[in-house]
Every structure is written in structure tokens, then in C-alpha cells.
């Protein structure tokens, strides 16, 4: 059986580009005891993948040159020599940018119940994106009724869910996006009460849309946008540091405004969130989100390509904000 794989060809600095990857073909090896074979249906494209390939400070060791690109995917088990993993099961896990993955149970993030929601949602809304939105917003953000929740990359895979969950909590979500078109979508589909296009003068737009200040800042971008938002935080505001999409490279470490004084005088609490610390709560949280899909109280947006060869460009597009909602590559 032939296996198409996107492998890492060279080590990027900053955002990985298509030339850092290569599409290769390889036979699928024989399964050994304890292994199973996954046929990938949906490949996930995530900003976090930049960190997987760079030699930057990160929470996981970098993907070796020549190895299949580390990625999450939704797939079906088509052969198994592993006790507890059976043919025809669907799983979400570390199956890589490839057609087939020889996996072990360590690579599984979550067993999927395909009856619960459309299969693709298991890579986004019921995958790390929905989990991140739900847990980071509630654990760190703790939005109260009437509070203002500002979200960067608000039309993205995480932000599109945060807006709706913040609204459900009785808060007033405000979107930060890169185009008016995305802003309109945030108002129409994702529960946002207002939006800011960051290509316009940001401070004035924040004062207009968040007149009482920002109580919860769900930050997916970092950088200069974050610097400006910090100066519009309300006293005792909470800042969820969830991603740094706006930073093209951390080598060398970029500079920006010092924020020490803002954190001190506004008594902010800023906290980093990495979803992989919270996998024990995965099933519970995914069930809650699936129930919202079924009840029609949670919308999701997916931006689905169909060519495995396009996966590297899709990652570039996510960093450029050219996606709306969860970026996926559908293989079957």
C-alpha cells in the first residue's frame, strides 16, 4: 500500500514555508505487535505546528529533518495488532500529515464516537481547538455576566468558539480580526457583540468597542496587538496567553513595549495555556461541546482543502489569516 507523506526537508526560521517540506511516497510497513494502522480522513493544520519544526523555545522537541510532519488527524483503524484498539474504530491523534499512520496507543488523543457529531468536527471543535476555547476561557478567563471578553484571531479555529462560549456565559465578546468581512462573520455566526479590524487604528477602536475596558483578553496573536490591548485592560483583568500568531519569528527574540507596569498597576493576571496539560478533561469537555452542536447552540466554521500536497501552504495561510475557522485537509 502506497503512503503519501509530507516530510520536513529543511529547518525553517520563523513561519515554515512550502519549500521546507516535500511530498514523498513510501510503502506502509508491516505492523509489529502493539501497533495499529490508521487511515487518515482529516489532517489538521494548526499554528502550533510552527513550533514543532523550529528550533525555537517550545513545549515539544522539534520534528527531525526527513521525518513525517507532526500533525493531529482524524482517522480510522484499518488493521490492528494492538490489544484494545480494533478495526473500524475512529481516533483523533498524532497521525501526521500522511495517508496512513502506523501508530501505538501513545499517539491517541481521543477515541471518537462518529455518531456524536460530523467526523471533521473531531479535529477542530471537538479537537484541541474547542477544548482550548472551553478550558482556557473558563479556567483562566472566568468571564462574569456583563464583562467584556476581547478575542484575537476571533474568526479562527479557537476564536470562533470562544465568542460563542463567552456569550453563553453572559459576557460581551468583542472580536479582533484582520478584515471587516471576518468581523461581520463574527457578529453573524460566532456570538460576537462587536468587532475591531486591527488594520485600523487599534487604540481608538478598542476604546470605542470596549468603553469599560477589557476584563478578559483571550490572546491568540501576541505582539503589538497585545501591547495595545493590555493598555485597555480593566482592573483585575485576566489575560489568556494562548498563542502568538502575529510573531513571524522568535529567533532572535523580538522586542516590544515593556508590559511590567501594566500588569502591576492594573493588577492583571496573565497565564499561559497549552491544551496538552489538560488531556484528562478531554472526554468530558468534548461531550459538553458535542451536546451544544446537537442542540444547535454552537456553530463552527471549517475551511477544508482536499490535496495533501497543499498542507504546507495551508499552514502559511493560517499565519496570514487567510482561513476562516478550522483549517483541514480531507483525504477521504
Question: Residues interacting with its own copies, by CB under 8 A?
Answer: 51, 56-59, 219, 222-223, 226, 231, 241-244, 247, 250, 253-274, 277
Find cell 453573524 and name the residue.
188
- Which residue, 144 or 261, is less far from its own copies as judged by CB? 261
- Which residue, 178 or 222, is less far from its own copies as judged by CB? 222
- Which residue, 204 or 276, is less far from its own copies as judged by CB? 276
What is the rounded distance in angstroms from the CA atom of residue 126 to the CA atom of residue 161? 11
What is the rounded distance in angstroms from the CA atom of residue 270 to the CA atom of residue 321? 25
CB of 128 to its own copies, least distance (A): 14
Q: From residue 240, how far is each of 133, 171, 202, 218 by CA, in Å?
A: 10, 16, 19, 5
CB of 265 to its own copies, least distance (A): 5
- Which residue, 257 or 304, is less far from its own copies as judged by CB? 257
CB of 275 to its own copies, least distance (A): 11
- Which residue, 105 or 254, is less far from its own copies as judged by CB? 254
- Which residue, 193 or 274, is less far from its own copies as judged by CB? 274
CB of 298 to its own copies, least distance (A): 26
CB of 126 to its own copies, least distance (A): 23
CB of 139 to its own copies, least distance (A): 11
Cell of 231: 493598555
- Which residue, 213 or 254, is less far from its own copies as judged by CB? 254
CB of 54 to its own copies, least distance (A): 11
Nearest alpha-carbon partner for 257 in 230, 232, 237: 230
Q: Which residues of 258-274 are buried (b: 16+ CB within 10 A; e: fewer)?
A: ebeebbeebebebeebb
Cell of 72: 493531529
List Cβ neighbours of 209 (8 Å cut-off, separation of 6 or more). 174, 194, 195, 196
CB of 257 to its own copies, least distance (A): 5
Nearest alpha-carbon partner for 326 in 164, 93, 121: 121
- Which residue, 277 or 307, is less far from its own copies as judged by CB? 277
- Which residue, 21 or 273, is less far from its own copies as judged by CB? 273
Assign 270 to helix, strand or coil: strand
Nearest alpha-carbon partner for 107 in 135, 130, 77: 77
CB of 283 to its own copies, least distance (A): 22
Cell of 197: 479590524
CB of 98 closer than 8 Å to CB of 40: yes
Nearest alpha-carbon partner for 237 in 221, 226, 225: 226
Q: Which residues of 94-128 are buried (b: 16+ CB within 10 A; e: fewer)?
A: ebbbbbbbbbeeebbbbebeeebbebbbbbbbbbb
Amino acid at each position: 500500500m502506497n503512503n503519501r507523506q509530507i516530510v520536513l526537508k529543511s529547518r525553517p526560521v520563523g513561519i515554515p514555508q512550502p519549500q521546507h517540506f516535500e511530498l514523498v511516497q513510501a510503502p506502509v510497513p508491516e505492523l509489529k505487535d502493539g501497533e495499529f494502522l490508521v487511515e487518515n480522513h482529516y489532517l489538521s493544520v494548526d499554528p502550533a505546528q510552527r513550533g514543532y519544526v523550529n528550533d525555537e523555545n517550545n513545549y515539544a522537541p522539534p520534528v527531525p529533518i526527513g521525518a513525517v510532519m507532526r500533525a493531529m488527524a482524524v482517522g480510522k483503524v484499518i488493521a490492528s495488532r494492538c490489544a484494545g484498539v480494533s478495526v473500524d474504530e475512529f481516533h483523533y491523534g498524532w497521525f501526521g500529515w500522511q495517508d496512513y499512520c502506523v501508530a501505538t496507543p501513545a499517539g491517541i488523543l481521543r477515541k471518537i464516537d462518529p455518531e456524536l457529531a460530523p467526523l471533521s468536527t473531531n479535529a477542530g471543535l471537538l479537537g484541541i481547538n474547542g477544548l482550548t476555547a472551553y478550558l482556557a476561557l473558563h479556567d483562566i478567563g472566568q468571564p462574569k455576566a456583563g464583562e467584556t471578553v476581547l478575542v484575537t484571531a476571533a474568526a479562527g479555529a479557537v476564536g470562533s468558539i470562544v465568542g460563542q462560549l463567552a456569550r453563553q456565559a453572559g459576557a460581551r465578546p468583542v472580536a479582533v480580526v484582520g478584515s471587516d468581512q471576518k468581523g461581520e462573520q463574527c457578529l453573524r455566526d460566532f456570538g460576537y457583540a462587536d468587532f475591531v479590524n486591527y488594520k485600523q487604528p487599534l487604540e481608538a477602536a478598542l476604546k470605542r468597542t470596549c468603553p469599560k475596558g477589557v476584563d478578559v483578553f483571550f490572546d491568540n496573536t501576541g505582539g503589538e496587538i497585545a501591547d495595545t490591548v493590555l493598555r485597555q485592560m480593566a482592573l483585575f483583568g485576566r489575560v489568556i496567553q494562548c498563542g502568538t500568531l502575529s510573531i513571524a519569528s522568535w529567533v532572535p527574540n523580538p522586542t516590544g513595549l515593556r508590559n511590567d507596569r501594566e500588569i502591576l498597576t492594573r493588577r492583571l493576571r496573565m497565564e499561559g495555556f497549552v491544551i496538552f496539560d489538560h488531556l484528562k478533561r478531554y472526554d468530558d469537555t468534548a461531550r459538553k461541546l458535542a451536546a451544544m452542536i446537537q442542540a444547535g447552540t454552537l456553530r463552527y466554521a471549517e475551511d477544508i482543502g482536499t490535496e495533501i500536497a497543499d498542507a504546507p501552504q495551508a499552514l502559511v495561510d493560517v499565519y496570514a489569516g487567510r482561513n476562516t475557522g478550522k483549517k483541514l485537509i480531507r483525504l477521504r
